[in-house]
Homo-oligomer: A and B are copies of this chain.
């Protein structure tokens, strides 16, 4: 409860179940993982999941909840630090994007939650919508505000699409990174979190700024 640490060596049943579920969901998928497998892997009893979480879907949401709370705390912490450093000036777009993506890209390659991040969005049903509305509110609010200050000439619609595309790049990178094996990575090792972060920041910020430039040419003030 309330712990933000790795939780990996905690011995209570609840967290052992979450760890086991995270691992199995990551390698096998939600539907291909049974309650029985999870309790077996966790060294818990078959009935324990129902007791602690209720039905299977609630367990899935609990797996995301635990990790997203950690992740979003890091994001807000990075954003806070940038804002303190900038004083009352608007932040550089790069700082905002980096604060959003770095906590995800820094997850170690063997962390099973990496693959789960992107799977959330492509899973059928309301999983993504539920999780986003339960756990992404504060992050969305803070980062939207920051980016509006950083790119005051961009229309809201542009920023929304930019955020959507950014999430796509990030989710695909952590979830489908196995497909990068084929690529000769002489100068940007995908296991080097910082170099991937900088590369993605460059790419995404150029994309975001391209919207502003396009908008500024025909009209003048008052974006929207």
Let me know if A1 is at the binding interface, CB within 8 A: no
Specify which of B175, B187, B211 is in contact with A202 (CB 8 Å cutoff): B211
Contact A179 B209 (CB under 8 A): no
CA distance A1 to B53 in the complex (A): 49
Specify which of B168, B170, B203 is in contact with A176 (CB 8 Å cutoff): B168
A95-139 with Cβ < 8 A to chain B: 115, 118-119, 121-124, 128-129, 132
Q: Which residues of B contact A118 (CB under 8 A)?
A: 121-122
Q: Mark A45-62, 1 if CB is under 8 A from B, else 0.
A: 000000000000000000
Specify which of B157, B165, B185, B206 is in contact with A169 (CB 8 Å cutoff): B165
Q: Which residues of B contact A122 (CB under 8 A)?
A: 115, 118-119, 121-122, 171, 175-176
User: Interface majority SS on A: helix, strand, loop or mixed?
Assistant: helix
Identify the stretch in A6-14, A26-34, A63-71, A78-86 within 8 Å (CB) of chain B at 4 or more residues: A26-34
Contact B188 A161 (CB under 8 A): yes
Contact A210 B202 (CB under 8 A): yes
Let me know if A160 is at the binding interface, CB within 8 A: yes
CA distance A186 to B118 in the complex (A): 28
Q: Which residues of B contact A188 (CB under 8 A)?
A: 157, 161
Nearest residue, chain B, Cβ from A167 = B172
Q: A155-B187, A157-B185, A188-B157 are in contact. Are A175 and B206 (CB under 8 A)?
A: no
Q: A210-B203, A211-B203 are in contact. Are A164 and B172 (CB under 8 A)?
A: yes
Question: Which 9 pairs show the lowest CB-CB distances between chains A and B?
Answer: A168-B172, A31-B31, A206-B210, A203-B207, A121-B176, A206-B206, A119-B122, A160-B183, A29-B124
**23 A–B contacts from the bound complex (CB under 8 Å):** A28-B124, A29-B31, A31-B31, A115-B124, A122-B176, A128-B176, A128-B178, A129-B178, A129-B179, A157-B183, A157-B186, A160-B183, A160-B184, A160-B185, A164-B179, A168-B171, A169-B172, A172-B172, A186-B224, A202-B211, A203-B211, A204-B207, A206-B206
A-B contacts besides A115-B122, A168-B170, 10 pairs, CB < 8 Å: A28-B124, A121-B172, A121-B175, A160-B183, A161-B203, A164-B172, A164-B173, A164-B179, A202-B211, A203-B210
